Every structure is written in structure tokens, then in C-alpha cells.
Structure 1
Amino acid sequence: MWGRLWPLLLSFLTATAVPGPSLRRPSRELDATPRMTIPYEELSGTQHFKGRAQNYSTLLLEEASARLLVGARGALFSLNAHNIGDGTHKEIHWEASPEMQSKCHQKGKNNQTECFNHVRFLQRLNATHLYACGTHAFQPLCAAIDAEAFTLPTSFEEGKEKCPYDPARGFTGLIIDGGLYTATRYEFRSIPDIRRSRHPHSLRTEEAPMHWLNDAEFVFSVLVRESKASAVGDDDKVYYFFTERAAEEGSGSFAQSRSSHRVARVARVCKGDLGGKKILQKKWTSFLKARLICHIPQYETLRGVCSLEADTSARTHFYAAFTLTTQWKTLEASAICRYDLAEVQAVFAGPYMEYQDGVRRWGRYEGGVPEPRPGSCITDSLRSRGYNSSQDLPSLVLDFVKLHPLMARPVVPTRGRPLLLKRSVRYTHLTGTPVTTPAGPTYDLLFLGTADGWIHKAVVLGSGMHIIEETQVFKEPQSVENLVISPTQHSLYVGAPSGVIQLSLSSCSRYRSCYDCILARDPYCGWDPGTHACVVTTTGANRSQGSRTALIQDIERGNRGCEGNRDTGPPPPLKTRSVLRGDDVLLPCDQPSNLARALWMLNGSMGLSDGQDGYRVGVDGLLVTDTQPEHSGNYGCYAEENGLRTLLASYSLTVRPATPAPAPQAPAMPGAQLAPDMRLLYVLAIATLGGLCLILASSLFYVACLRRGGRGHRQKYSLGRASRAGGSAVQLQTVSGQCPGEEDGDDGEGAGGLEGGCLQIIPGEGAPAPPPPPPPPPPAELTNGLVALPSRLRRMNGNSYVLLRQSNNGVPAGPCSFAEELSRILEKRKHTQLVEHLDESSV
């Protein structure tokens, strides 16, 4: 019973609130809002590269040579890292032959997406060559490429044990001291595997009596130099992050319902592992894996991982992006969690799990653990005891490793909760870099790519994460597939299906005042009191250490340092507005920050709230409806953010009384000043012309009636084009001899005709007129909790907006007729007088 109710209860809690570890957390932390939004049209200083290939998903940055190497579908590129779009790139065409594509298609694969050579691996092999692998239409190949000439070799290597067949399959790989460490599904329809090749001791994971990996999809791998400055002579380790089907769930209805449930994992192997001598020959003897938990274990999927400071193991930590999705797809969100290497090491040093045949489930192992500890690397202590390599380990230890690859404790995030939660966003990739500020502290700066082509820039703080800005880097929505940071070039490189984009790591020039600069909380930006500008804080040739320390920053709080500083930006100009009493007026005010709250003040002291005395406050400005004399005064629009208040706009509003319009005077007749004889002559001429027009009109009407009587049938006259099938012409039809009281014609269509053969408008043969457009939808609640401004405003008289119709519940009423609207306007004009000289800045 509880096995069936538990998923329902958990999904209900997830769908309603996406709860964190503490239900008392502020709501803003449950859905972080980027401070600034930069649409594609406002991007500046970016560089683009797009060749004749597609799917630019593999990136390799070489800082020493300032080259960005790109692997795409059917091609490789070498770009100038200073400016990827300068046209100096080198290109290698590496397509699968038509014969290979045909064979791929015959295997049932898609010849529009899969039967190509997708470059999935690109690493530096040695000082002179690169190493690349491609799917090659489901027949993988690898090649050693001359880095200087950037040309393919004359011969290739078999890639079936180094590269996946499927271009959509999860894959990760590294070249470490000449050895190739890869993780994926290699052979066609094979099981997943972590392998080491191009090495004197090739190794792989175990398959019997149980699979160490269960339908795994790999996301990321990294080498951590744990041997560096190690007091115990430890070995370097390679960590792998992936998802797989859960194996440790118990039996019963819950386990059956979650049979396809996938969990996040972290695994590790020792770089010096040589495999076993008799047991686990050519297999890893140091393979261990553990559960990775972020927020809601049953409903989270690992999407991306990045590591920071892997060269110093004591400070190494990982950031992972997860997608949170409920069982019924009722809610989608993303979470970012941080994991410290020390916590991962502690989990691998803890208790093991064991598969219990009696109950057919995994449970915690409670028995004794043999020595040396299974899964550990060779250290100085083991060498002193005669264990110089993994091939010297006892058979008892290797048997234990074979049956106990899973750890009992999960790896939990730092602080026990996510650093960031974001609704309605799916992160696909992330990368980061530590940034040292002029004051001394170092902050981790992360760049998060989304499934629809946006980049979120966020800084990790003690209380969580602050999203500095969100940037739309692609005009057409597409998934961000790779991100690489170059601190030397101060650039971020974004790989996607359509091309590569180069962005600056900071946009400090966007902030025009000291307040704007510190509110951004960007570790790369600081306010320079000497130049009165927000500048990049990184050390350069033209910036001394002394000038850097003088920069103003407040990354943790984001509101201190500008006290007493006069660099708060120029005051906005005072704009005047003149409006007649009873009219409506809109005072525009745009909020540049998504985190700011609009605050309106009247005469510097009276705060205005939405719905108060005819005031409507929205994100675009203040609407004053049915203005009265007491509405006159000075209005100030402020942005209130993080305890700071900045003036954005200033208005002087004058409401003028509506005076009655003077009675219209009849214009003097021109003939009043003429002599009586001349006036009589004018009257006779006008009467004569009028009589002639009347006689001519009567004659034409008589002739037309005679012609209609002679024909004896109806005639049709079409307005515009002639009526035909599918047209929309309106016809004028004459009805002769079918006046009321007369008999109907032979065709019986004259009933209800008009006397005198008058015209009658009837529908034509064309299609009916299209229905009127539906009324606009009601205004939605905006992101900052303020109701949208009325949507049906019409400009009138050059200085005010008239609110046409709006119901009390905020839903716009339906469209009214022109006659009704005109009557209301004319009725109002009877009692008002327009302002003759309007202010030129009036809206």
C-alpha cells in the first residue's frame, strides 16, 4: 500500500511547490530570477563562426597557441581564439563516403541525421598531433592529425572501442599521459563501458556475474591530480559522472513501478590501475560508484557537470546541473548543486552495498571488509607491505571488488541543498571559472546553457547563487551543446547545432553608475572612482594593483560601497505633462533590472500604490485615470533594489479645468453685403440650375424603369470585382414588379420586395465575411507581481490617453460600435474644452 502511495505523495509535493530542504526558505530562492535580460537584438561585441558543416558540439581550447579547435558533422575547424569570425580559420573535410552512408541507411538508421561522420572526440595527443574520433556512419574511425598543418593522415585507426556508433549516445573521453580514457556504448547495441586504450594495460569494466554499469549514459569525466603534494603517496584518479537505471531499489510494487527509474552516479578509477593478475584480468580493480543526490532524488536527471581547481585536489569541487521533472510532466525545473571532492572521497571510503540473492535486492553490506581495502589505489603504505601494483592484490580483495561496486551512502550537495532552482528552464551544459576580486576573495563564476539558446551567468555566493544576467545568444531557439571559457581571451565560446559564438566574459560598460555596478554583483566588474566608470577588474598591462584595489565592489551583499559617492548617474530630465480634467495620462518608466521594484512618489513624500485614487502601477509606468486637480504635482519614478533607491524618471503633471466651449457663431453670408438686385440675380440662377437637375434626374429614372420593365427579370450590380466562386462581392439587386401587395413573379423570389423597384442589398455568391477578431486576452500577472497596464488605450488630443472600456474585474470588455463610441466622445466634448497649446513632451 505504502509502495503505491509514496510516488503519488512525492509527485504532489513536487508539483505544488518544488520544496527545498526547508519549507521556510524565501520564495525567491525557489525560482531564481536573472537580474538583467539581454535579448538577441541587444547583443554587442560578439563574434560568430559558421562553416558548411552542422552540429558544432566538440570544442577544444588551446590557450598557448590561441586556437579554438571545433569538431562538427563531417568537418573539423581551427579558429583564431582572439576572433573566431575573422576568416583566418583552417578546415578539414571528414565526411563518410556515400557507400558508408548507404550501408548505414540499410541498417535502419536515419540518413538525414545519423548516417554522417559526427566528430565526438578531439584532444591533444602529443606536442605535434591531435587525436580525433568520429562516428563515421556507424563505423567509427579515429585519426592522428598534424596540429600545425591541420590535415588528415593517409591512414586511420579503428574506432569501435574508442568512440560511440550513435551520434546521440552519451560520451566522454580524456587523453592522460598518452592513454585514452573513454566511457560510452562502443559496439553496435552493446552494453556501456569505461575503457582505457592506447595504453600498455588496456582495461574495461566487469560484465559478470553482474554488470557494473546498468544502461549508463555518460555526461562528464575529469582527471584529479590527487597525487600532487599527497602525504600518503596517493594516485591520480579519473572521475566519471553519468546516469543509469537504479539497481538498489527494493522489491515490491514500488520497485516494479520504478523499474525504468534513472539515477545520477559518480564513479572513479585509479590512473595507475593495471588490472588483476588472475581475477579481474584486464578489468578495473579500483572501480567504485555512488549515488549522486541534488534535490528530489526520484525525479532528477543529470544534464551537465563541470569541475573547478582539479589541479589542486584539496580545493577541487564539482557543479552539476539537474532537470527536475514530475512523473506526469506537470512541472519542469532545473537545479544546480555543488559537491566537494572531500565528501566524494568520504563516500568511497564508507560502507558497501551487496546484492542479496534471497530477496533479489541490493542492501547494505554488514560483513567484514578484507585488507587492503577493496577499490583503493596503491599508496606508500601498501607499497611498504609489498603491494606495488594492483596485480599484487590478494584474490579475496579482487573477488570483493567484483561483487561490491556500489557504495551504500549517497553523495549529497554542499550545505545539503541546491545552490539554485529555476522553473521552466532546462540547462544542458555548464562551465565555470574562479575569479579573484581586487579585495582578495575568490568567487566561482558559472555559465549555464539552456535548451533554447540562452546563457545564464551566475556567481556562487555564501547564501546560494545570484544570476547576474541571461543572454539570448541565438536568434532561433536551439540547444547549447558545449561551453568553453578562456580567461586569457576573456571570452566564452558557445557550441550549438548552427555554429559557434564568442562572447565576452563581462559586460561592465552596461552599468552607468556606481549603484548599477555594485548591484550587478559581477566579480569581473568594479566601479572606478577615478574614471567614473564600471570597469573590468582583471589585471592587465595598463592596470596596476593599486588602481585595482581602489575599485568599488560588494559581491556578497550587493549594496555597499557607493555611500557618499557622487557617481550615482545623471539625474533624469524633468518632463512636463498637461492634461484636461477627467482624462487619463500615462507616465512611462522602464525598469532596467528584473529584481527592481517600481516605486512612485508624489511631491517627494507621498508613495503611490496600485489601485489607489485612480493610480495604476505597472512595469512600464504609472497610469492616472480620471484625472482631478489633486493629481497635479511632481512625480518621481524610482527603482528600489536590494535596499537601494535610484531615480529613473521625473514628471511635472498639470491637470487643467475643462471650460465650456463657446457657442458656435454662424458665419456671415457672403451675399449679406451685396446689393438687393444682385442677390435676386443669384437666387434666380440657383433656382434655374436646380430645376434643370431635377428634370434631368427624373428623365434618367424614367428611362431606367422602362428598360427594367422591358427585360422582365432582375438585374444584379456588383460592387468591386465580379462575383465568382470563392469571392466576397456584395451585390445590389433591383426588384421590379414585386412591390408589397402585388403578386409574386414566376420564380417566386419577389416576396417582400419594395415599392417603386427600389434597390435591396442581398448576399452575393462569395464567401461570407470573416468573423471579427476575438477580444484581446485579459492582462496577465507580471513577473514582479504587478498587474499589467490597461491594454485598450487610445491616443486622443495629443496629450492624453482615453481608457475606452474596462470591466471591474480587469478583463477588457468586448468591442463597442462606432456609433456608441462617437456618441460618448461627443457627449464629453459638450462639457470640455481642449488645451490649445500643448507641451511638446506630452504623451
Structure 2
Amino acid sequence: MWGRLWPLLMSFLTATAVPGPSLRRPSRELDATPRMTIPYEELSGTRHFKGPAQNYSTLLLEEASARLLVGARGALFSLSAHDIGDGAHKEVSPWHLDHSEGLQLHPAPWDLNFLEMLPAFQSPLIHWEASPEMQSKCHQKGKNNQTECFNHVRFLQRFNATHLYACGTHAFQPLCAAIDAEAFTLPTNFEEGKEKCPYDPARGFTGLIIDGGLYTATRYEFRSIPDIRRSRHPHSLRTEEAPMHWLNDAEFIFSILVRESKASAVGDDDKIYYFFTERATEEGSGSFAQSRSSHRVARVARVCKGDLGGRKILQKKWTSFLKARLICHIPQYETLRGVCSLDADTSARTHFYAAFTLTTQWKTLEASAICRYDLTEVQTIFAGPYMEYQDGARRWGRYEGRVPEPRPGSCITDLLRSQGYNSSQDLPSLVLDFVKLHPLMARPVVPTRGRPLLLKRSVRYTHLTGTPVTTPAGPTYDLLFLGTADGWIHKAVVLGSGMHIIEETQVFKEPQSVENLVISPMQHSLYIGASSGVIQLPLSSCSRYRSCYDCILARDPYCGWDPSTHACMETTIANRTALIQDIERGNRGCESNRDTRPPPPTKTRSVLRGDDVLLPCDQPSNLARALWLLNGSMGLSDGQNGYRVGVDGLLVTDTQPEHSGNYGCYAEENGLRTLLASYSLTVRPATPAPAPQAPAMPGAQLAPDVRLLYLLAIAVLGGLCLILASSLLYVACLRGGRRGHRRKYSLGRASRAGGSAVQLQTVSGQCPGEEDEGDDGEGAGGLEGGCLQIIPGEGAPAPPPPPPPLPPAELTNGLVALPSRLRRMNGNSYVLLRQSNNGVPAGPCSFAEELSRILEKRKHTQLVEHLDESSV
């Protein structure tokens, strides 16, 4: 699917891309693969925190006090930055807020004895819940009482030396509070948060506290238009709404202060940069009031920190607001997801990294791209031509007229002060009118070198952060951590030609989106905020690499090979000058360092000819290619001579003697070859064991002439048996005629009260002592004489027979000799056998003798599992 669709999508660049350098680049060069994959079960050195709350998405790291402050749903936490899971958060505060009674602190309804057990210090937990009344009002407005009608802490920053400043959605009625940083307690009075915090926990939001002023960007109320505001300042400002909106349904991602005037002679030129997405207005037809286009684009905007607004025009509005298009790879199908900045304190080296999601309008293709933008390039775009709305064509076009002076959107610097412009309120009306109608720049901001640093298919990055790392050799590399929508962290180093993903780590067992990332160089830790909790992850795990080449191939700026200890060491704790690294190429430096590890032991395998055998070989690197050598020289390829090369090892099918030999499994990566496993395979001749044979007929294995003799003998014996049987039958018939009557086998039923009886007549007539009564005579039993009556036991009970004259003796197989009722056998019903002769059982007759012989014959056999009456 990718192979067919990607070239088609790339063709859009030539036809529809905005002006700028060509962004075309073969996708196969950009689809980076993480070198190592670390599943959740193999995590080491991580620490976890989960308190009595949810949605741990707001993080504030204070390196000086080694604290990590966390804002969640209905709570704030103060954790040890050294170990967030040290258990200090378990000291739960017994105070909670009751907003229904004047926002006062009241004891929680717990056992009062618990208060005496509390430590003297304050708990690192603040409960900040919305009252039940507020939640009920929120639910009545149609909001979700399972997710939205709570107090989601969205803003948490240092306000001054003694206090923190926090804001929460508070069930769609935002509140803000100044928190005592030392005691970590809420105040008794709160501030209205509608001008500072979003009402909706799902809305995009970004905020900064700069010199006591609060700079925020979001949609503040249900019917308000998203804008950028400054509050808690003598001059409160916001963006313009008429005659056109400067912002169109904007979702804000990130903001950062860049001190461009630091150590500069141009004066107060510090700026705040905002990154967001909004509906495009410059593409297609539109109007001043609202764009009809549903296409969203990425933007970067800026305002001056020293802006005071206009005197008559743009009163309490920004006079320095400008915005520009931000593109990465495929402008029509990219969505901005996350931004981070590095070296913001030095404007000459400030640069930004942005994560985009690339999705087609049919949603058949999804990928993520990482682009880098240098501040100097952004400044160049804001110094370039403007866009304007052309009434005649009812579209946006490049402004070709004269630009007034001082340049619209500029900050007030020492140069402008020398010209008499001491603040933005002194700017001419012509300049302010131009700013009002020309907020958009004509050229887009394109990534460094005109192309993405990384393209990763089937991954959605949600957040990213980075830090510069100086290596022992001197160069400094940017190390990025990228969070995904399913709970993974990609660690990548930025190289001159792109990005190398060092490893991917599954930090959450259950898939969930990474909501925030914060790096602590002092603690050498990465803090990850998500819905279920906070994870502390070490920035590097160099001990995972066991050899010099493995350490070099990782290309981790934090890791280097120490020749003296023969171990991969952290650059932060080891002798930095002696460590070996090769970040750029990743394959040099280990030539003179002998590997002290013993080679892998040779394992023996012995199989029968024709069998299949698997030789396992685990490749620790996803970038390595498995190379199999037979007897040290012959390379094995997949599908050749019964060999199948896979990710799990080498499968040899239908083994033959020529498959015997010594097999070596190598990892071939970046020009280096490392032995991983060694096998000695022996293929033995097949000697199958004799199969069990069924009993054969006599003569089956004899010669043909002997077999013929056996067949003739069997035929003669068969003929003799037939003659003997005929003779016996003839004698029996003669004997029956002499007795004066003949009997036939007859099977019939006679009615009885409560059941039915089956009559079985014998051929030979009477038992000893039996008198003939004629064919139609009836005995005392009401049945024909000489009959054997069988009554099924499942029917209605029959009249009990007279007791036998003598107690019956036991046969050898445990059955009573000729009983009136046979015992239940294997779960079958009792069956009544009675020979009727005037109702009195007679002694043993031919039938009884035959039955006895049958039972005697079966005494050594196992009874049938489910014997039925017909078999008896």
C-alpha cells in the first residue's frame, strides 16, 4: 500500500506546495528504524508514580530544589526529582476544599485520630477538587460527568521566589490560585480563571509567566474566539477580532520566550513565539468574518514582550502580532503535534523541533515527520513580504504596495527610541492600520535544508523534548525524546544528515498517549506524564552494550567505551577524555581495542537425515542483517539448498549429509561483523525403529507353494465341519419327531398386568421332569409350557417368583447361578429370567447350562461398557 500511494502523494509537492525550497525526498531514505526495541518487561532503572488522581499531564521541574511538581485531575503533587517513587506522596493531606461554603479549608470526614498521626511537615499532596454542586451544574450544561466535570490542572509554573501559580478548569468554571511553594498549600482566596485558563480540558493550551506577566493562548470561554492574551500585567493585551480574525479556530501547541535583546545594542527586542494549528484562510475563497475552508495548517506567530498596545487604534490589542505558515513535508496532509526549543537563551543558536502527523484525506496512510527550524530562518520570514485580502478577487494574495515605517510588527528598540517612538503607543496610525489588516506573512517557514530530519511510518508522535549533549571529543549533539500515542518513547540523536533512533522503549504496559515530557540533566532523568501516572526513565543505559562495537554502533552521546575497564560507560561519570565514541559514523574506534569477552560457545546439534532443524540466533539490533556462514566461508542465502534465514535463526529443512558442518551466525551492521552464535550440526543416517506389526494370518509370510497347501487344508476342514453340522441337525429333527411333537422358535409378547413379557420357546421341548401338556396347554404361570419368560426391569414391577428351594451357589465370576433376577451389570437394568412350568422354576436345562458356560467363559473378560438387554 505504501509503495503505491507514497509516490502519488509526493507528486502533490510540485503541483500544490507553497513557495519555497523543494521538499521532495524518497520516503525510503526517511523511514528510520529504531536500532533497539525494549519492551515493558525488560525495563530497568525506571520509577513509577501513581497517586489518588488521573491525567498527570502538567509537569514542572525545579532543578534547584530537586522537585517535580505534577498537576493532575483534582490534585497537585510535589515529588522528589531524584526518585518520584520514594513514597513521600503517600502522606495524604487531611484537608480538602468545600467550594460551596466560601472556598474555605475544612477537615475531611475521616477519623480524627488520623490527624494526630500526621507528621509535622506538610504533605506533598494538594486536593483541589470541584465541589459536587459545581459538577452537577457542569453536567446540567451537557458536559460529561465522567471526564469533563472535574478540576483539571492545566497550568503550573513558578510565579516568584515564594509562590507557584496554578490554574484549573474547575468543572468549566476556571479558577487560578497562588500556592505557597514551601508549605505547598492552597490559599483561602482564588482568582477568576476565565481570562487565563481554558474552560475545556480537551482544548489546546499554552502559557508562560514572564517578569510577573501571564502570557496564555487558548479558547477561554464556550463562545469566545481563541486568542493570545497577556494578563496580571499593567497593560493587558489580546489579539484583534475585527474586521478579520487574526486567529481562526486555533489549537495551541507550544510557546517559548526568546531573549533576542540579551547582550544586544538594539534594545528591548525579546519576543514570545507561539506554535499552533488553525483553519487556513489564504487558500481558496473566504471572507473577513470567517473562512469557509476546513483545511487546517500549522503556524508560528510572535509578539513582543514590551508591547503596550496602541493609543487609539488597537487599544489593548497587540501591535506586534505576526504569523507565518509552517510546513514540513507534505503541506496538504500534515498536522502539528508537538514542538520543543533548544538554546532559547542564546538567540543566535535557538532552534525548534516540531513533530507532524502526515495523514491523507482518505486516512489510508499515516506517518510522523520531525522537522527542524532555525530561529534565523523564522526571523527572515517575519522580515519579508506580507499577505493581504484582496476584495476584488475575494482571496488572499501577496501585498505588493509600500510598507510604512517603522516596519509593522517590529518591537520598540533603542533605534526606534532614538527616532521618538518610546513605546508601541507612539506608533503612527498608518502603521497600526497596516498591522490590523496584514497579520499573515507571504512566505512559509520551511525546515532546515528544506526537508524533514526523520519520517516514521505507522507512528503518531504526540510530544517531544530535547537537550544538547556535549561529547568527550568536543562536538555537541541534540538528543530528542519522542512520545507516541501508544505509550512508547523513541530516543534519537540529530546528525548532520538526519536522525538516528537509538532505541524505542515501551514505558506503559497498557497503551496510552504520552501527554508531557520533561528532561532533567542534573538528575539524568526523563519524566513522562500520561493518564495513568508519571514515569521516571534514565536518559541512558550504557551497561546494556556489552562490547566495544556494540557501544559504538549505538551512537548514544551519553555512552562511550572505556578501554581500561572494557565497559560502555556514562560520559557523565566516567573519565571523559579516555572514552571512545563515533556518533557521526558509528563504526570506528574499536580496531585497537581487543574484545575481552570469550566467543560464544559452540553448540552441537544432531539430527536424522530428512528431518528439519532450527538454529536459533537472536539479533539484538533491528538494524543488523543476519549473516550465516558454513564452515567459516560459505555464505547461506534464504531459499537456497533447504536453508531458510529468518529473524529467529536458520531453519534447515530436509537435512542431508552435505548439511553437516560448523555454522556461524553473525550480525552485520554498518560495515561491522560480530559473531553471535556457533553451531556444530551432524546429520545421521535414518534408521527408523521397526514398526509394530498386526497379527498375520498363518502362511502370510510363507512361500507361495506352501501358502497354497495351507489354503487347501483349510478348505477340506471347512467341508468336514459343514457335513458334521448337517448330521447333527438331522439327528435333532428325528429326536423331536419321536417325542410326538415339533417346536419352532417363536418370539412373541403376552400381556401382563403392569408390563409386557417376551416368550422364548425351545426346540427340544422339556427340561427333565417336565410333562407334556399339548400345544395349547397353559401352565400355572399363564404362559405356554417350556417357555422362558424375559421381563425388562424398566417396566412395572411383576409379581415376585416363589423362593427357590435352596440358596443358590456363587459362580467363579461372581454371578448367582440361574437367579430369578440378574445383577445390574455396568449400569444396565435388572432382567428377570424365569422358566415357567406350573410357576415353579425347574432345575438346570440345556438353556441354563449354555448360559452357565457362557458366563464361565467370560469370567476373565471385561464386561461391555454399556450392555443392553438384547445382548443378554
Q: Which category describes the TM-score, using the shorter chain as reference length?
A: 0.7 to 0.9
Shift of 1:233: 2.3
Q: CA deviation at 1:232?
A: 2.2
Residue matched to 1:771: 800
Using the alignment, how far apart are the partners of 2:461 and 2:838 within structure 1? Answer: 38
2-structure distance, mates of 1:250, 1:741: 123
CA spacing shift, 1:529–1:268, aligned 2, 3 Å? same
Is the 1:326–1:332 Cα contact (8 Å) retained in structure 2?
yes
Q: 1:826 to 1:254 in 2, by over 3 A?
A: farther
Does structure 1 conserve the Cα–Cα contact (< 8 Å) formed by 2:205 and 2:218? yes
- 2:470 counterpart residue number: 436
- C-alpha displacement at 1:768, in angstroms? 38
Deviations 1:534-582 (A, max 9, x none): 011125xxxxxx9311101000000000012112743110011111111
Cα 1:563/1:775, change in 2 over 3 Å = farther
Any idea what SS the aligned residue of 2:726 has?
helix
User: Structure 1 residues 781 and 750 mapped into 2: Cα distance closer, same or farther (>3 Å)?
Assistant: closer
Q: What secondary structure does 1:804 align onto?
A: strand
Give the secondary-structure state (helix, strand or coil) at the position aligned to 2:676: strand
Deviations 1:397-444 (A, max 9, x none): 111111110000100000100000001100000000000000000000
Deviates more, 1:240-249 or 1:183-192: 183-192
What is the distance in 2 between the residues matched to 1:775 and 1:16? 112
Per-residue CA deviation, residues 668-723 of structure 1 (Å, 9 max, x unaligned), is 99999999999999999999999999999999999999999999999999999999
Q: 1:216 to 1:436 in 2, by over 3 A?
A: same
CA-to-aligned-CA distance 1:271-291 (integer Å, 9 cap, x gap): 000111111111101000000
Do the aligned residues in 1 keep the contact of 2:552 with 2:587 (CA within 8 Å)?
Answer: yes
Q: CA RMSD in A?
A: 19.4
Give, in angstroms, the shift of residue 838 of structure 1: 50
* Distance of 2:308 and 2:810 partners within structure 1: 62
Summarize deviations over 1:487-515 as a string: whole Å, max 9, x none.
00000000000000000000101000001
Structure 1 gaps of 5+ residues are 540-545
CA shift in 2, pair 1:803/1:194, >3 Å: farther
Cα offsets for 1:56-94 (capped at 9, x unmatched): 000000000000000000000000000000011388800
Whole-Å separation in 2 of the counterparts to 1:470 and 1:786: 78
Work out the CA distance in 2 between the residues paired with 1:795 and 1:450.
Answer: 72
Q: What displacement does 1:250 show?
A: 2.7
Structure 2 Cα separation of the partners of residues 129 and 815 of structure 1: 114
The Cα shift of 1:731 comes to 29
TM normalised by structure 1 equals 0.76
Contact kept? 1:600, 1:635, Cα under 8 Å: yes
Which whole-Å deviations, capped at 9, do the CAs of 1:21-56 have from their partners, x for residues lacking one? 989956543311100000000001110000110000
In 1, are the aligned partners of 2:791 and 2:832 still within 8 Å (CA)? Answer: no
Shift of 1:235: 1.3
TM-aligned CA deviation for residue 367 of structure 1: 0.3
Is residue 166 from structure 1 mapped to residue 200 from structure 2 by the alignment? yes
Question: Structure 2 vs 1, CA of residues 191 and 232 (structure 1 numbering), >3 Å: closer, same or farther?
Answer: same
Rounded Cα–Cα distance in structure 2 between residues aligned with 1:816 and 1:559: 103
Percent identity at matched positions? Answer: 95
Q: Structure 1 residues 400, 741: CA separation in 2 closer, same or farther (over 3 Å shift)?
A: farther
Instruction: Pick closer, same or farther for the CA change 1:716–1:837 going to 2, 3 Å.
Output: closer
**Structure 1 pair 741–729 and aligned structure 2 pair: CA distance change class (3 A):** closer
- 1:180 equivalent in alignment to 2:221: no
Equivalence for 1:829? 858
Q: Please give the alpha-carbon distance, in whole angstroms, between the structure 2 residues aligned to 1:740 and 1:300.
A: 110
Maintained 8 Å contact 2:486/2:514: yes
Equivalents in 2 of 1:708, 1:630: separation in Å? 84
The answer to whether the 8 Å contact 1:267/1:288 transfers is yes
Distance 1:551 1:115, change over 3 A: same
Residues 482, 252 of structure 1: alpha-carbon distance in 2 compared, 3 angstrom cutoff? closer
Give the whole-Å Cα distance in 2 for the aligned partners of 1:227 and 1:680: 119
Task: Give the equivalent residue in structure 2 for 1:719.
Answer: 747
> Secondary structure of 1:805's partner?
strand
The Cα of 1:139 is off from its aligned counterpart by: 0.3
**Kindly tell me: are residues 383 and 674 of structure 1, through their superposed partners in 2, closer, same or farther at Cα, counting changes over 3 Å?**
closer
Per the alignment, do residues 831 and 584 of structure 1 end up closer, same or farther by CA in structure 2, a change over 3 Å counting?
farther
Q: How big is each residue's C-alpha offset from its partner over 1:181-238, in whole Å with a ceiling of 9 and x where there is no partner? A: 0000012221001000000111100011111101000000000011112242251100
For 2:289, what is the secondary structure of its paired residue?
helix
Structure 2 vs 1, CA of residues 105 and 832 (structure 1 numbering), >3 Å: closer, same or farther?
Answer: same
Q: Matched residues in 2 for 1:53 and 1:599: separation?
A: 51
CA spacing shift, 1:769–1:686, aligned 2, 3 Å: farther
Equivalent-residue separation in structure 1 for 2:472 and 2:838 (angstroms): 54
> For 1:367-401, what per-residue CA distance to the aligned partner results, in whole angstroms no more than 9, with x for missing partners?
00000000001112111111111111111111111
- Report if aligned partners of 1:610, 1:616 keep a CA contact under 8 Å in 2: yes
Residue 584 of structure 1: how far off its partner (Å): 1.2
TM-score (norm 2): 0.74
Summarize the Cα distance change of 1:620–1:368 in structure 2 as closer, same or farther, 3 Å threshold: same
Instruction: Call closer, same or farther: CA 1:566–1:691 in 2, change over 3 Å.
Output: farther
- Distance in 2, matches of 1:808 and 1:82, equals 106
Q: Please name the residue that 2:36 is paired with.
A: 36
Structure showing greater Rg: 2
Say how many residue pairs are matched.
837
Q: Report the secondary structure of 1:96's partner residue.
A: coil
Equivalents in 1 of 2:338, 2:816: separation in Å? Answer: 37
- Give the match's secondary structure for 2:713: helix
* SS of residue paired to 1:728: strand
**Pair 1:274–1:581, CA change in 2 (3 A):** same
Q: Which runs of 4+ in 1 moved over 4 A?
A: 1-28, 252-258, 659-843
CA distance in 1, matches of 2:419, 2:845: 95
In the alignment, the residues of structure 1 paired with residue 840 and residue 585 of structure 2 have an alpha-carbon distance, to the nearest angstrom, of 41
CA distance, structure 2, for counterparts of residue 679 and residue 96 of structure 1? 102
Deviations 1:720-770 (A, max 9, x none): 999999999999999999999999999999999999999999999999999
Q: Distance in 2 between matches of 1:7 and 1:804?
A: 92
Q: CA 1:681–1:774 in 2, change beyond 3 Å: closer, same or farther?
A: same
Distance in 2, matches of 1:811 and 1:299, equals 104
CA offset digits 1:793-842 (Å, max 9, x no partner): 99999999999999999999999999999999999999999999999999
Please name the residue that 1:739 is paired with. 767
Alpha-carbon offset, residue 658 of structure 1: 2.4
Residue 172 (structure 1) shift: 0.2
Describe the SS at the equivalent of 1:756: coil
Whether the 8 Å contact between 1:575 and 1:841 is mirrored in structure 2 is no
Residues 193 and 771 from structure 1, CA distance in 2 versus in 1: closer, same or farther, beyond 3 angstroms? farther
- Secondary structure, counterpart of 1:519 in structure 2: helix
| 1:15 counterpart SS class | helix
Distance 1:142 1:806, change over 3 A: farther
* Residue pair 1:578, 1:839 contacting (<8 A) in 2 also: no
